[in-house]
Amino acid sequence: MVEVRERVQDRPTQAAPCDVAIEGKPHAEPLSKDPIALSSKPSMFERYGKGPEADVPKPLEGTPVDVPVDFQGLEDLARASRRALVSDKMARIAIEIVAGLVVIMLAALIAKIVIDGWDKLLDWNFLTGKPEQFKEGGGIGPELFNSFYLLVLTLLVSLPLSLGGAIFLSEYAPANALTALAKTAIETLSSLPSMIVGLFGFLFLVLQMGWGFSIMSGAIALTMFNIPILVRVISQALEAVPQGQRDAALALGLTRWEATIHVLIPAAMPAIVTGVVLSAGRVFGEAAALIYTAGQSAPALDFTSLDLASPACPWNVWRPAETLAVHIWKINSEGVVPDLSAISNGTAAVLLVCVLAFNLLARVVGRALERRITAS
């Protein structure tokens, strides 16, 4: 086609007809008087309505010549785009159905948990009271506190370590086999079943180190569980910052470290906050890693006590500490209280609401943080 167009342009007024090549194929024999016979497709001669010997008006320089229209091709194109429209619509409907089902399932699950535990959720005595061994009316006060305390301790240890590890891996580590190995190891660890972490914690922290069932053992086990996840999300957040941000910071005379602290981390902050929140949710609801490390008993807490050696002191890290998730597991597997299912449902609802509240809070904090970084 293109060839035809060019030929038309430089064609002298009395050009020999055999000069013209149609469809890019040179003619072996002289062009017949009836050019249409050459091809079923309409040719340029047909469009101009003249025979090959006729004067084809020379187009103005620079204006494109009308190329013969390929009707067959256009029809194919139209059919293909109709097909594309239909399949696009079908794909959309399918996706909407799947998404709708997922949303309905999740909403139903949340509704069921909240409705089942509603009475207990609003019961102050349940939220703050101490658990009962044999009679009904027990509370989950210590468990609630333990869950938050363990979460805070875990984040306190795992966040700085993960931040350091992620910065090293994404900004400093040379691209060699060792780095690749470390990254693979972290990927693997981040999907390690938490039961394995729990059993390792039991053997090493509880027995070997002699820490017993304690908050310390639990927090370290949770840290091991949490670090690979955090390193992964933080380094992904850092790697997602465009290279231009690094270059721009370095070009202003910042060192690599300064660029990381003042430019890259702020730029990655929303993604980091999201990652930390998601991992915190997992830590908060974790049971398997804690059953054999933080223990399954919750000594009553005395919030006026500051004696760090007393098992009643909330801040004592050497006391055993059952969390909400472990509590659910325990009363369901070996509980003997009469109001077993009410307590279990109530605890589940509290756990859910806590995770939800924590997510919302962290999102608000993240957004406020971002606003402060952006506008100063």
Partner 1 sequence: MNASSSAVLGAPATSAPASALLATRDLTVSYGAKEALHPTSLSFRKGEVTAFIGPSGCGKSTLLRCLNLMNREVVGCTMGGRILYRGRDILAPDVNVYELRTSIGMVFQQPTPFRLSIAANVAFGPRHHGLAASREADLVERALRRAALWDEVKDDLKKSALALSGGQQQRLCIARALAMEPEVLLLDEPCSALDPISTFAIEETIRDIAASGVCVIIVTHNMEQAGRVSDRCAFFYLGTMVESGPTLELFNAPRTQRLSDYLTGRFG
> Could you list the residues that contact partner 1 (CB under 8 A)?
174-175, 242, 244-245, 247-256, 258, 262-263, 266-267, 370, 373-376
Cβ-based nearer residue to partner 1, 38 or 271: 271
Instruction: State in angstroms the smallest separation of the CB of 187 from partner 1.
Output: 23
Cβ-based nearer residue to partner 1, 30 or 244: 244
Strands (E), 299-374: none
Q: How many Cβ atoms sit within 10 Å of the Cβ of residue 158?
A: 27
Instruction: State in angstroms the smallest separation of the CB of 246 from partner 1.
Output: 8
Instruction: State in angstroms the smallest separation of the CB of 270 from partner 1.
Output: 9
Instruction: State in angstroms the smallest separation of the CB of 160 from partner 1.
Output: 23
Q: How many Cβ atoms sit within 10 Å of the Cβ of residue 45?
A: 21
What Å distances lie between residue 70 and 212, 256, 324, 362, CA to CA?
82, 59, 72, 60
Q: Which two tokens stand for residue 372?
A: 């402060």
Instruction: State in angstroms the smallest separation of the CB of 128 from partner 1.
Output: 43
Cβ-based nearer residue to partner 1, 258 or 302: 258
Instruction: State in angstroms the smallest separation of the CB of 123 from partner 1.
Output: 45
CA distance 361 to 301: 26
Instruction: State in angstroms the smallest separation of the CB of 369 from partner 1.
Output: 11
CA distance 245 to 231: 21
Phi/psi of residue 22, nearest 5 degrees: -105, 140
Any residues with CB less than 8 A from the CB of 212 and at least 6 apart, and which?
206, 295, 318, 320
Instruction: State in angstroms the smallest separation of the CB of 172 from partner 1.
Output: 11
Cβ-based nearer residue to partner 1, 83 or 372: 372
Instruction: State in angstroms the smallest separation of the CB of 252 from partner 1.
Output: 4
Cβ-based nearer residue to partner 1, 247 or 307: 247
Helix/strand/coil percent split, the chain, to 5: 65, 0, 35
Q: Which two tokens stand for residue 323?
A: 């969390």
Would residue 137 be called left, alpha or beta, if left means φ above 0 and alpha means ψ between -120 and 50 degrees? left
CA distance 173 to 84: 46
Cβ-based nearer residue to partner 1, 3 or 370: 370
DSSP secondary-structure letter at 132? P
Any residues with CB less than 8 A from the CB of 282 and at least 6 apart, and which?
226, 229
Cβ-based nearer residue to partner 1, 82 or 262: 262
CA distance 232 to 229: 5
Q: Which two tokens stand for residue 254?
A: 């910042």
Cβ-based nearer residue to partner 1, 14 or 374: 374
Cβ-based nearer residue to partner 1, 266 or 311: 266
